[in-house]
């Protein structure tokens, strides 16, 4: 028999607004830069996490999203993420500095999975990680990979979804997946929630 | 759950454009790492693939000027693996690409290709068009465990019966982008690297592509099964290895649990062994915690350099071949114990009966990977 899992919480960040379970919880003027938005969101969430300010945009988005998604996590909560632009913002910064002094502090962010490292440190997760790249949101691979981890007891719960930041914009859509709940975890449901305004 | 096996493979590297040439070169103790010069970092040691030789090899597949260096490397690797399975419809095969930076060299002003090529989905699109695939390949980009993780992803897709077969192709370049980055960390060795050795001074980077067939169909001879795999994050530091080897230890434990074996049954470890002081020390601690301090172990980094996103895949192929040939390859560059915990580093390439082997890898972002392979004799 096919074992089912459930979406028990979600977070979406777009257009300088944060939604938890489809409900807007924080919003600033859309004209504000992403850096300013992230700074205000940090204050709103009362994060007091000094490391945050050193991170690149992708990592800041990841920390904010996972902090909103749930208060605390079991240490075997897996991370299964996907985006389109990998670590593009930090890549361009490193490329621009090639001729003078490339900084290690920036170079380390030129990998998409660094955000999973930052989230793991923040929430103390010593768990499974997988970062996928796709032109558009591809929920099938996220669902099948997540289900495999949960079914085979390689993780007790999973944070999965889309975490994108590029030179022009960003879009975050993360979900919390558990063995119990009401909304069945499936690719069509994820896709529907992803495009839902 | 159905079993998953490793099949044929192809390695494209400075040591040759076939797996056979690569295995022979490594058997003979030949290193791909040579001294080069860069406008940004000066003299450095790395493993570069000759563009001329690559173009020559690519000629029979396509127009050399239409594809980037990495695309040519990856296409060559995939074409050979696919050729041996021409009876299977390509729609029935999952395609998985593993890379850290893809065509990152196209961001440079000197590069003739569009910067758009640097986007990873564009790389998937190129392979999709070249091989005329219905589905866009899946891309895994998870730092230096990417190539191994790609095989784990394939295993899961075959286990849950989404596909019967998969091709995992990995590839990364030596680019000014990564050279300057590792140089800014002062991590580059000014010689051929010396994994696990007391006198080690850092890493070399190298370029390679490799492709591997993963399947639910048990090969008639030479069957190597994936019996366990796991990843685990250190939750400690994004660019420094854990001082307790926590993530690597957990990933080994979880892979051992899935395989339902005891750690003493592991006959050989293909380690990550980048030859930085901290990485090798971390691995020694993790292997000791896992009860593997006496298990023969090697690192292939002194043959190829660290080939980043493809390294774990390339080394997994060597691990598969070690099993099949009952042969272990010496850990090139090792002279004297250089970690606080003991390890059984292999100093001589020789025949050795093997049944179960472990491949591990670790990367930036605190990620760690472990995979166990088992030979099934008929």
Inter-chain contact B118–A91, Cβ cutoff 8 Å?
yes
Best A62, A99, A113 residue to mutate vs chain B (most B CBs within 10 Å): A113
CB contact under 8 A, A148 and B104: no
pLDDT tens, B37-92? 999 999 999 999 999 999 999 999 999 999 999 999 999 999 999 999 999 999 99
A84 within 8 A of B121, measured Cβ to Cβ: yes
* CA-based nearest residue in chain B for residue A130: B142
State residue A42 phi and psi, 5-degree precision.
-60, -45
Beta-carbon separation of B254 and A138 below 8 A: no
- The confidence score (pLDDT) of residue A99 equals 85
Residues in chain B, overall count: 378
Helix (H, G, I), strand (E, B) or coil at B86: coil
**pTM of the predicted model as reported, rounded to 2 decimal places:** 0.98
Report pLDDT for A3.
78
Q: Are B201 and B153 in contact (CB under 8 A)?
A: no
CB contact under 8 A, B184 and A103: yes
Q: Which residue of A has its CA nearest to B181?
A: A107
Q: What is the mean pLDDT of residues A5-20?
A: 98
Residue A190 has pLDDT above 70, yes or no: yes
Closest CA to B307 of B221, B219, B207, B188: B207
Vertex B163: Cα angle to B359 and B372 (nearest 5): 15
How many whole angstroms separate alpha carbon B121 and alpha carbon A14?
22
Predicted local distance difference test score (pLDDT) of residue A101:
86
Q: What are phi and psi of A26, to 5 degrees?
A: -160, 140
Q: How far apart are CA A114 and CA A97, in angstroms?
A: 20
**CA B278/CA B236 separation, integer angstroms:** 14
Which value does ipTM take for this structure? 0.98
- For the cut 60, the answer to whether the pLDDT of residue A123 exceeds it is yes
How far is residue B40 CA from its own chain's centroid?
27
The pLDDT of residue B111 is: 95
Binary contact (B141, A112; C-beta < 8 A): yes
Q: Where are the domains of chain A?
A: 6-195
Candidates B118, B124, B182, B235, partner chain A, best to mutate (most A CBs within 10 A): B235
- Distance of alpha carbon B244 from alpha carbon B221, whole angstroms: 41
Per the CB < 8 Å rule, is B181 touching A104? yes
Domain regions of chain B by residue span? 5-215, 223-376
Exposed, middle or buried: residue B135 (CB in 10 Å: 0-12, 13-18, 19+)?
A: middle
In terms of Cβ atoms closer than 10 Å to its own Cβ (0-12, 13-18, 19+), residue B192 is buried
* Cα–Cα dist B178/B30, whole Å: 24
Q: What residue in A sits closest to B103 (Cα-Cα)?
A: A91
Nearest residue, CB atoms, B239 vs list A98, A108, A113? A108
Choose the mutation target among B367, B370, B371 for the interface with A, i.e. most A CBs under 10 Å.
B367
Q: Which of B40, B156, B254 sits opposite A148 (nearest CB)?
A: B156
The CATH homologous superfamily for domain B223-376 is Thiolase/Chalcone synthase (3.40.47.10)
SS3 string of B104-146?
HHHHCCCCCCCHHHHCHHHHHHHHHHHHCCCCCCEEECCHHHH
pLDDT score at A2: 62
Q: What is the average pLDDT across B217-245?
A: 95
pLDDT at B325 over 60: yes
Give the class (CATH, top level) of A6-195: alpha beta
Q: A73 vs chain B: nearest CA distance in angstroms?
A: 13
Q: Are A128 and A142 in contact (CB under 8 A)?
A: no
A9-22: average pLDDT: 98
Instruction: Report the pLDDT averaged over residues A5-22.
Output: 98
Contact B290, B249 (CB under 8 A): yes
Calculate the alpha carbon distances from A19 to A10, A22, A69, A197, B24 in Å.
8, 5, 9, 11, 57
At residue A100, the pLDDT reads: 85
Q: What's the CATH superfamily of B5-215? A: Thiolase/Chalcone synthase (3.40.47.10)
Q: Is A72 exposed, middle or buried (0-12, 13-18, 19+ CB in 10 A)?
A: exposed
How close does chain A come to B194, measured CA to CA in Å? Answer: 23
CA angle (B182, B186, B187) in 5-degree steps: 60
- pLDDT reading at B378 higher than 80: no
Chain B residues closer than 8 Å to A154 by CB: 230, 254, 258
Judge: A131–B160 Cβ closer than 8 Å, yes or no. Answer: no
Does A130 sit within 8 Å of B153, measured CB to CB?
yes
Nearest neighbour of A116 by CB, restricted to B156, B182, B365: B365
Q: Select from B121, B176, B364 the Cβ nearest to the Cβ of A98.
A: B176
The C-alpha of B348 sits at a distance from chain A's nearest C-alpha, in angstroms, of 35
E-strand spans in chain B?
5-12, 34-38, 42-47, 93-98, 138-140, 165-172, 205-206, 208-215, 223-233, 268-270, 296-298, 327-328, 344-345, 350-351, 356-363, 367-376
A91: helix, strand or coil: helix
Half-sphere exposure of residue B127, counting CA atoms within 13 Å on the CB side? 34
| Minimal CA separation from B181 to chain A, in Å | 6
What is the residue whose two structure tokens read 């002279």?
B335
Which residues of chain B make contact with A165, given a CB cutoff of 8 A?
Answer: none
Q: Which of B119, B235, B238 sits opposite A125 (nearest CB)?
A: B235
Average pLDDT over residues A22-40: 97
In percent, how much of chain B has pLDDT > 70?
100
pLDDT for the residue B222: 86
Please check the confidence at residue B19 and state whether its pLDDT lies above 90.
yes
Phi, psi of B150 (to 5 degrees): -55, -40
Which chain B residues are Cβ-neighbours of A144 within 8 angstroms? 156-157, 160, 162
Q: What is the pLDDT of residue A1?
A: 45
**Interface probe, candidates A54, A88, A117, chain B, greatest B C-beta count within 10 A:** A117
Contact between chains at B233 and A79 (C-beta distance less than 8 A): yes
Minimal-distance CA residue of chain B relative to A95: B177
**Closest CA–CA distance from residue A54 to any residue of chain B (Å):** 12
Over 90: is that where the pLDDT of B221 sits? no
Residue B318, pLDDT > 50, answer yes
Q: Do the beta carbons of residue A80 and residue A149 sit within 8 Å?
A: yes
How far apart are the CA of A100 and the nearest CA of chain B, in angstroms?
9
Q: Which of A107, A165, A168 to mutate to test the interface with B (most CBs of B within 10 A)?
A: A107
Give the pair of three-digit tokens for residue A135. 């032109």
């Amino acid at each position: 028999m096919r074992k089912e899992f459930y979406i028990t919480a979600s977070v979406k960040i777009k257009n300088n607004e944060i939604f938890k379970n489809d409900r807007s919880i924080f919003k600033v003027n859309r004209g504000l830069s992403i850096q300013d938005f992230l700074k205000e969101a940090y204050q709103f969430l009362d994060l007091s996490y000094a490391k945050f300010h050193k991170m690149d945009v992708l990592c800041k988005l990841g920390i904010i999203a996972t902090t909103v998604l749930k208060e605390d996590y079991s240490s075997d909560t897996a991370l299964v993420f996907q985006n389109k632009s990998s670590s593009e913002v930090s890549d361009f910064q490193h490329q621009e500095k090639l001729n003078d002094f490339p900084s290690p502090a920036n170079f380390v962010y030129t990998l998409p999975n660094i955000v999973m490292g930052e989230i793991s440190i923040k929430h103390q997760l010593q768990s499974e990680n997988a970062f996928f790249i796709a032109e558009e949101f591809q929920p099938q691979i996220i669902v099948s990979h997540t289900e495999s981890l949960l079914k085979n007891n390689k993780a007790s719960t999973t944070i999965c979804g889309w975490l994108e930041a590029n030179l022009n914009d960003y879009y975050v859509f993360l979900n919390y997946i558990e063995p119990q709940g009401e909304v069945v975890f499936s690719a069509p449901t994820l896709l529907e929630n992803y495009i839902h305004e | 759950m159905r079993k998953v096996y490793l099949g044929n493979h192809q390695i494209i590297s400075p040591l040759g454009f076939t797996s056979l040439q690569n295995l022979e070169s490594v058997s003979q103790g030949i290193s791909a790492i040579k001294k080069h010069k860069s406008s940004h970092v000066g003299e450095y040691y790395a493993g570069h693939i000759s563009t001329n030789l690559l173009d020559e090899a690519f000629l029979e597949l396509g127009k050399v000027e239409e594809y980037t260096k990495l695309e040519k490397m990856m296409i060559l690797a995939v074409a050979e693996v696919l050729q041996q399975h021409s009876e299977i419809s390509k729609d029935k095969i999952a395609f998985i690409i593993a890379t850290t930076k893809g065509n990152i060299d196209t961001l440079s002003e000197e590069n003739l290709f569009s910067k758009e090529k640097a986007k990873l989905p564009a790389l998937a699109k190129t392979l999709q068009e070249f091989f005329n695939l219905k589905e866009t390949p899946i891309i895994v980009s998870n730092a230096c465990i990417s190539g191994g993780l790609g095989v784990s992803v394939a295993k899961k897709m075959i286990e849950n019966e989404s596909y019967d077969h998969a091709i995992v192709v990995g590839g990364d370049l030596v680019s000014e982008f990564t050279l300057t980055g590792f140089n800014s960390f002062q991590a580059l060795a000014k010689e051929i690297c010396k994994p696990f050795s007391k006198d080690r001074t850092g890493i070399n980077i190298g370029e390679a592509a490799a492709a591997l067939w993963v399947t639910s169909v048990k090969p008639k001879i030479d069957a190597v099964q994936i019996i366990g795999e796991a990843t685990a994050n250190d939750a400690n530091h994004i660019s420094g290895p854990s001082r307790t080897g926590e993530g690597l230890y957990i990933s080994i434990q979880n892979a051992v649990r899935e395989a339902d074996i005891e750690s003493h049954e592991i006959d050989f470890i293909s380690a990550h062994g980048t030859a930085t002081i901290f990485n090798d020390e971390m691995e020694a601690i993790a292997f000791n915690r896992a009860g593997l301090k006496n298990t023969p172990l090697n690192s292939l980094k002194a043959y190829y350099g660290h080939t980043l996103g493809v390294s774990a895949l390339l080394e997994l192929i060597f691990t598969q071949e070690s099993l099949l040939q009952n042969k272990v390859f010496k850990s090139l560059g090792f002279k004297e114990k250089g970690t606080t915990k003991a390890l059984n580093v292999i100093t001589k390439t020789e025949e050795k009966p093997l049944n179960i082997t472990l491949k591990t890898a670790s990367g930036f972002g605190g990620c760690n990977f472990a995979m166990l392979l088992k030979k099934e004799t008929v």
